Amino acid sequence: MIRNEELEQILETIDLQNDAPAQEPMRQYYFIKKAREIVAEESSKRGRPLTANEQTFGCQMNAKDSEKLIGILENIGFEMIDDESADLVFYNTCTVRDNANQRVYGRLGLVHSMKKKNPHKKIALCGCMMQEPTVIEKIQKSYSFVDLIFGTHNIYKFAELIVAMYSSDRMIIDIWKDTDKIVEDLPTERKFPFKSGVNIMYGCNNFCSYCIVPYVRGRERSRNPKDIIREIEKIVADGVVEVMLLGQNVNSYGKTLDEPMSFAQLLQEVEKIDGLERIRFMTSHPKDLSDELIQVMKHSKKICRHLHLPLQAGSTKILTAMNRRYTKEQYLELAHKIRREIPDISITTDIIVGFPGETAEDVNETIEVVKEVQYDNAFTFIYSKRTGTPAAAMPNPTTDEEIKENFDRLLKVVQETARNRVGRLMGEVHSALVEEQNEHDPTLVSGRLSNNTIVHFPGNTSLIGKIVDVRLVEAHGFYYIGEMT
């Protein structure tokens, strides 16, 4: 990221009469300046500021990308608004399961009718779904009113792409298969002033057989630790107290660096940053979770007492077919070790039901693991076939009804376990980072405990962004009601 004052100084030195420089990020600074001219001209034609709207689907990685895109839009003069009637709408898409794709097509239908009434309206599509060639073909054929399409590897070029879009009547498509490039020092927006996601790596090399992510996010590459630390220092100076380190598989951080470094070592560096109070991270792959990491977490004052440890399935047969590279026993041993070393930690997970060949007995094994690990929460998904993945070619004799039954059986156990588990802190005092005013009751604010559980308690908006001590007085399923001490 770059601060506004720094960027303004650089922009002053850029002469738009010259050709755009080839070197990044200078090239994007050039296009930011150029895009500002275009946006200013368009707004003076209309006698009002140009507006933009973002629609983000999918995971935290996508949410973080959207903040970067909004950062560019605001910088070049767009006013962000909450509804899709804006002059420019961008959809940052997800393709991890088919229902995410279907939602995007639904939205495109809606926005098409808006565009018919306002021909100046621009529609941009980006994100994981755009990395699939069949999707691009479909959009070209059936959604030809879309103005701009780009993927996951070139979001840093957004200013350049906006200039291209406003300079052409044709659909602009810029999709890269992969990249080893990481462009630093671009402007970005932050949704919350007090907490922020920070990318530490991009892509994934695991190739779980059901998963499309390695195909749409490319090969694993780690950000330089110095850049990560510099970014966190800057945002902490701006008021951030909690960071979430983001990567598809944070436990393999650092392997691709010129000077390799482990994730546990990176955490120790982040811990040293003065003024930073809390560190979270997402997502851990069980096969790479080291003893070193467990020890660093155990002794840390800042790393939150929460670990998201995707199980995906509890039967070793299915885990093998999924190419997860651990057995049920190895997963359980790891979970027990973590609980032994860090007793107050909460463990959450992701589980897929209905992977090809999964039987009711296999799901019973998943249920056994849920009961044994006692997850604080588990996100359960029905398997969705993704074209191009190895699992898409595997036959599945299990019927949809059987899958639904298995899913419901698992969900029931997940909910019971989570309810018991979350209630265990009743009566205790814990620190909570206050995140927002309660949506339903304005006399309450909502905060998050170190272990990621939500607590609602009486308080006003001046508390937002502060870490306060709260006594947990009532347990309600997945959250607490509390009072400040």
Taking CB atoms within 8 Å and a gap of at least 24, the contacts of 165-172 are: 165/122, 165/124, 166/35, 166/38, 166/42, 166/122, 167/38, 171/140, 171/144, 171/146, 171/147, 172/147, 172/148
The string of DSSP letters for 139-171 reads HHHH-TT--EEE-SS-GGGHHHHHHHHHT-SSP
Token readout for 397 is: 């004799």
Indicate which of ligand 5AD, ligand SF4, none lies near residue 210 (CB less than 5 to 8 Å, by partner kind). Answer: ligand 5AD
Q: Could you tell me the smallest distance in angstroms from the CB atom of residue 131 to ligand SF4?
A: 9
Q: Could you tell me the smallest distance in angstroms from the CB atom of residue 66 to ligand SF4?
A: 10
Residues that bind ligand 5AD (CB under 6 A): 96-97, 210-211, 310, 312, 350, 352, 381, 383-384, 386
CB contact at 8 A, 223 and 200: yes
Indicate which of ligand SF4, ligand 5AD, none lies near residue 217 (CB less than 5 to 8 Å, by partner kind). Answer: ligand SF4
C-beta nearest to ligand 5AD: residue: 350
Residue 98 vs 474, nearer CB to ligand SF4: 98
The DSSP bridge partners found for residue 455 are 447, 480
Q: Could you tell me the smallest distance in angstroms from the CB atom of residue 26 to ligand SF4?
A: 29
Cβ neighbors of 241 (< 8 A, separation 6 or more) are: 194, 195, 275, 276, 277, 278, 433, 465, 467
Residue 126 vs 296, nearer CB to ligand SF4: 126
Q: Could you tell me the smallest distance in angstroms from the CB atom of residue 63 to ligand SF4?
A: 9
Residue 78 vs 202, nearer CB to ligand SF4: 202
- What's CA 183's distance to the chain center, in Å? 19
Residue 216 vs 294, nearer CB to ligand SF4: 216
Cβ neighbors of 415 (< 8 A, separation 6 or more) are: none
Indicate which of ligand SF4, ligand 5AD, none lies near residue 188 (CB less than 5 to 8 Å, by partner kind). Answer: none
Q: Could you tell me the smallest distance in angstroms from the CB atom of residue 470 to ligand 5AD?
A: 30
C-beta nearest to ligand SF4: residue: 58
Indicate which of ligand 5AD, ligand SF4, none lies near residue 386 (CB less than 5 to 8 Å, by partner kind). Answer: ligand 5AD
- What's CA 223's distance to the chain center, in Å? 16
Residue 61 vs 139, nearer CB to ligand SF4: 61
CB contact at 8 A, 33 and 11: yes
Indicate which of ligand SF4, ligand 5AD, none lies near residue 310 (CB less than 5 to 8 Å, by partner kind). Answer: ligand 5AD
Residue 148 vs 216, nearer CB to ligand SF4: 216
Amino acid at 417: T
Indicate which of ligand SF4, ligand 5AD, none lies near residue 97 (CB less than 5 to 8 Å, by partner kind). Answer: ligand 5AD
Amino acid at 412: K
Alpha carbons 57 and 66: distance in angstroms, whole number: 10
Helix (H, G, I), strand (E, B) or coil at 236: helix
Q: Could you tell me the smallest distance in angstroms from the CB atom of residue 212 to ligand 5AD?
A: 7
CB contact at 8 A, 58 and 127: yes
Q: Could you tell me the smallest distance in angstroms from the CB atom of residue 62 to ligand SF4?
A: 4
Residues that bind ligand SF4 (CB under 6 A): 58-59, 61-62, 94-96, 128, 213, 216-217
Indicate which of ligand SF4, ligand 5AD, none lies near residue 58 (CB less than 5 to 8 Å, by partner kind). Answer: ligand SF4
Indicate which of ligand 5AD, ligand SF4, none lies near residue 95 (CB less than 5 to 8 Å, by partner kind). Answer: ligand SF4
Q: Could you tell me the smallest distance in angstroms from the CB atom of residue 461 to ligand SF4?
A: 31
- What is residue 447's DSSP assignment? E
Alpha carbons 146 and 149: distance in angstroms, whole number: 8
Indicate which of ligand SF4, ligand 5AD, none lies near residue 384 (CB less than 5 to 8 Å, by partner kind). Answer: ligand 5AD
Q: Could you tell me the smallest distance in angstroms from the CB atom of residue 38 to ligand 5AD?
A: 38
Indicate which of ligand 5AD, ligand SF4, none lies near residue 128 (CB less than 5 to 8 Å, by partner kind). Answer: ligand SF4
The DSSP bridge partners found for residue 148 are 124, 172
Residue 58 vs 71, nearer CB to ligand SF4: 58
Token readout for 401 is: 């009804």
Q: Could you tell me the smallest distance in angstroms from the CB atom of residue 480 to ligand SF4?
A: 29
CB contact at 8 A, 136 and 104: no
Residue 59 vs 81, nearer CB to ligand SF4: 59
Residue 62 vs 450, nearer CB to ligand 5AD: 62
Start-to-end CA span in the chain (Å): 38
Q: Output the CA–CA distances (angstroms, integers) from residue 173 to 130, 170, 216, 455, in the order listed.
A: 10, 9, 16, 45
Residue 108 vs 213, nearer CB to ligand 5AD: 213
Indicate which of ligand 5AD, ligand SF4, none lies near residue 350 (CB less than 5 to 8 Å, by partner kind). Answer: ligand 5AD
Indicate which of ligand 5AD, ligand SF4, none lies near residue 446 (CB less than 5 to 8 Å, by partner kind). Answer: none
The string of DSSP letters for 58-80 reads SSHHHHHHHHHHHHHHHHTTPEE
Of 218, 143, 216, 226, whose CA–CA distance to 184 is shortest? Answer: 226
Q: Could you tell me the smallest distance in angstroms from the CB atom of residue 22 to ligand 5AD?
A: 37
Q: Could you tell me the smallest distance in angstroms from the CB atom of residue 59 to ligand SF4?
A: 3
